[in-house]
Structure 1
Amino acid sequence: MASSEKYIQSKLDERKLQGNYRALSPESGLIDFCSNDYLGFARSTVLKDNIRRETASHPQSLNGATGSRLISGNSAYTEELETQIAAFHQAETGLMFNSGYDANVGLFSSLPQKGDTIICDELVHASIIDGARLSYANRYIFRHNDLESLEGKLKNAKGICYVVIESVYSMDGDTPPIAEILQLTQQYGGHLIVDEAHAVGLYAAGLVSHLNLQDKVFARLVTFGKALGCHGAIVLGSDMLREYLINFARSFIYTTAAPFHQLAAIKAAYSLLKTSSADIAQLHANIGLFKMNLCVNNAYPLLHSDSAIQCLILGDNHKAKYAAIQLQNAGLDVRAILSPTVAQGSERIRICIHAYNTSEEISLLTSTINNIIHEI
């Protein structure tokens, strides 16, 4: 019998040889151009003070939830918070999960059944793919943002059909034609589900609400670990969907609920978001400044994106890693995104712009990138 250690070592060696070996690294102290903290909430002293006041106003709260929400981990505070969040996003109701991964796995593993169909954009998040794999539904992939490709899959759909997209794609930063996708989905009797993880904050309550399509979308996924600067997620939809997930979503049923401190942080973050129009405007101004100062060429294109996520395609793991190292040596925290996280040939540096980045920091970033492009 083969040794497990030999198998593990061979796979690690193979990954190192391919140039896509992953390793954890501690905080760097560099200028942040890689985190999802788009509005600066994770580092906000105002938010930290608000969380402290919220927790202090509930001295009876426990350190831990003590169990799943169906056993001992539920509270009136949790349910009131879900109601408040749903109202902010103009949804009927919502159900919170411990993470965005839990939310997507719970929804997609429990809702579609054998004989149903899930149709996903080819660039949806791994958590959606994993959830869909756990279902017994037929699964199809359509070309990224391609309506013709989507329609071809819709024509072959059986049972109840769910079309799944993101409103801002995490590795490309672009946005889909949501209204057109929704119309096409409804034309074939399907239901649209939108993951809004990277759109909340950029578009306040998300792109679906920004486009006034919230009443036509079947469900939305909102995470709290990006622009909101804390942790957790919520599935937004109908009261009936909420009750269904409580009864059938295993990642909700069989896990300890979030502790009070996490709930207080989420509540405080939403209160801050309601007064953050200036930060959102600054974020968009910084995105525009970055794009204006960058000198790209056809060999190394910048993907089209109006979001905080900006990606320069270098097409090779080694080039992407070299560029990231050069940027880090200049004091800029930019990371390489390598295959297999992205398709081979589309390796890149992924740059996240934030409301708190100064014009001087953005100028240093763009001038360094411009020099790297001429070197490689």
Structure 2
Amino acid sequence: MHKSFALTPSQTYLKNKLDERQSSGTYRTLKPENDLIDFCSNDYLGFARSSVLKQNIETEVQKYPSASNGSTGSRLLSGNITYAEDLEKEIAAFHQYEAGLLFNSGYDANLGLLSSLAQRGDTIILDELIHASAIDGARLSYANRYSFSHNDPDSLEAKLKQAKGNCYVVIESVYSMDGDTPPLLEILNLTEKYGAHLIVDEAHAVGLYPSGLVNELGLQNRVFALVVTFGKAMGSHGAIVLGSNMLREYLINFARSFVYTTASPFHQLAAVKMAYQLLYNAGQEITRLKNNIDLFKNQIQTNDAFPLLNSNSAIQCVVLKSNHKAREIANILQHAGLDVRAILSPTVAAGTERIRICLHAFNTTNDLTLLTDTINKFINA
């Protein structure tokens, strides 16, 4: 007979919070890999699965037989190598910025940049749908924090009028949960009008736009800082903050997620370098991705009850307006052999629950037809 033990107060708290999630239908679990047709991952150009990239990484690593398996420490101690500094210069040149500083992930990049940049008495203004990493970075600063209505310049201007001290406006160039793009030039003009600085997270734009939307529009000389991540279209891992030499030196001294973490290992750096070399010549993959986006949008038959969000990116979302409906259609798609996931509240606002469809260069016409036919049948039943 097993002896039962009373839960401690902290265990009771944990149990109650998990029970709340389960009863509300928002409980999260991890799922292993599967053999379904990929409409879920951020591997927009297929680099993560690329045998060419894998071979190029192996060849690059073999060129440096003395490279360590691990970096052995933070970059301010034993973990810095010339290869990392050269890679930063190459990436900065590709995106047409003066300098860059590598971080271990996009989360670390936003956390380190925003938490160190703004001080007490300064202001950070975030788009209301900005990624959680930017929200957390802003929270860790001592700055005044505001959010403005999604992609709404009028709402942004109202917040800019309230700003004090040094002001930083933070947006994404392609939003991860909606797939839409902000009026970038209009927002940039507003920030300049009020003497604020614009920071753009390009995580989901690089690939669709080879060097990102900021560079595509020729605005890199006016955008204070750019965050580029390598775990989406680049098929690798890590991130870089791009800006001036002065910003780079500042982050080396004050960004805690850079200063107090073990540096990326050589293999990861080699993977990023080879991914950029592949991106230089990825014209065919980018064209296939754009063609697949057009094909999907032409074939999908949404309606007012279940609308398709306005997006020209690889991220396409059909709004089901409830966790139950979102789960239902995701299960139908998965049983049809398609890896499409439901995005539930509270990850997105209640009433905007959806399926999030990620399109890729490697998806075939047959894949897309099966996808759209299955969705069309469900929403028009």
TM-score computed with the length of structure 2 as normaliser:
0.98
Q: What do the CA deviations read for 1:67-94 (whole angstroms, capped 9, x no partner)? A: 0000000011000000000000001110
Equivalent residue runs for 1:227-266 within 5 Å? 227-266=233-272
Matched, 1:309 2:347: no
Q: CA deviation at 1:268?
A: 0.3
Q: Which residue, 342, 350, 354 being the options, matches 1:344? A: 350
Q: Which residue, 94, 104, 110 being the options, matches 1:98? A: 104
Fraction of identical pairs, as percent: 68
Residue 182 of structure 2 aligns with which residue? 176
Taking the aligned partners of 1:154 and 1:205, their CA distance within structure 2 comes to 29
Matched, 1:40 2:46: yes
Q: CA deviation at 1:311?
A: 0.3
Taking the aligned partners of 2:124 and 2:192, their CA distance within structure 1 comes to 14
Q: CA deviation at 1:273?
A: 0.2
Secondary structure of the corresponding residue to residue 48 of structure 2: helix
Paired amino acid for 1:215: N
Residue 321 of structure 1 aligns with which residue? 327
Taking the aligned partners of 2:286 and 2:298, their CA distance within structure 1 comes to 19
Paired amino acid for 1:7: Y
Residue 272 of structure 1 aligns with which residue? 278
Q: What do the CA deviations read for 1:90-135 (whole angstroms, capped 9, x no partner)? A: 0111000000000000000000000000000000000000000000
Q: Which residue, 293, 296, 312 being the options, matches 1:290? A: 296
Residue 166 of structure 1 aligns with which residue? 172
Q: Structure 1: state its 5+ residue gaps.
A: none
Paired amino acid for 1:155: K
Q: Structure 2: state its 5+ residue gaps.
A: 1-6
Q: Which residue, 131, 136, 142 being the options, matches 2:137? A: 131
Q: CA deviation at 1:374?
A: 2.7
Q: CA deviation at 1:4?
A: 1.7
Residue 371 of structure 2 aligns with which residue? 365
Taking the aligned partners of 1:275 and 1:148, their CA distance within structure 2 comes to 40
Q: CA deviation at 1:338?
A: 0.4
Taking the aligned partners of 1:156 and 1:2, their CA distance within structure 2 comes to 46
Secondary structure of the corresponding residue to residue 180 of structure 1: helix
Paired amino acid for 2:82: A
Q: CA deviation at 1:28?
A: 1.4
Secondary structure of the corresponding residue to residue 43 of structure 1: coil
Matched, 1:115 2:121: yes
Taking the aligned partners of 1:312 and 1:364, their CA distance within structure 2 comes to 16
Residue 223 of structure 1 aligns with which residue? 229
Taking the aligned partners of 2:21 and 2:320, their CA distance within structure 1 comes to 19
Paired amino acid for 1:154: L
Secondary structure of the corresponding residue to residue 171 of structure 2: strand
Q: What do the CA deviations read for 1:191-226 (whole angstroms, capped 9, x no partner)? A: 000000000011000000000000000000000000
Taking the aligned partners of 2:19 and 2:140, their CA distance within structure 1 comes to 30
Q: CA deviation at 1:2?
A: 5.6
Taking the aligned partners of 1:242 and 1:78, their CA distance within structure 2 comes to 14
Paired amino acid for 2:35: G
Paired amino acid for 1:117: T
Paired amino acid for 1:198: H
Q: CA deviation at 1:40?
A: 0.1
Paired amino acid for 1:321: R
Secondary structure of the corresponding residue to residue 139 of structure 1: strand
Residue 4 of structure 2 aligns with which residue? none
Secondary structure of the corresponding residue to residue 307 of structure 1: coil
Taking the aligned partners of 1:160 and 1:4, their CA distance within structure 2 comes to 41
Q: What do the CA deviations read for 1:304-355 (whole angstroms, capped 9, x no partner)? A: 0000000000010011011100000000000000001000100000000000
Paired amino acid for 2:258: F
Alignment length (residue pairs): 375
Residue 70 of structure 1 aligns with which residue? 76
Q: Which residue, 167, 175, 195 being the options, matches 1:189? A: 195
Residue 163 of structure 2 aligns with which residue? 157
Residue 14 of structure 2 aligns with which residue? 8
Paired amino acid for 1:207: L
Taking the aligned partners of 1:282 and 1:159, their CA distance within structure 2 comes to 46
Paired amino acid for 1:157: A
Taking the aligned partners of 1:120 and 1:7, their CA distance within structure 2 comes to 31
Paired amino acid for 2:101: L
Matched, 1:210 2:216: yes
Taking the aligned partners of 2:329 and 2:23, their CA distance within structure 1 comes to 19
TM-score computed with the length of structure 1 as normaliser:
0.99
Paired amino acid for 1:123: L
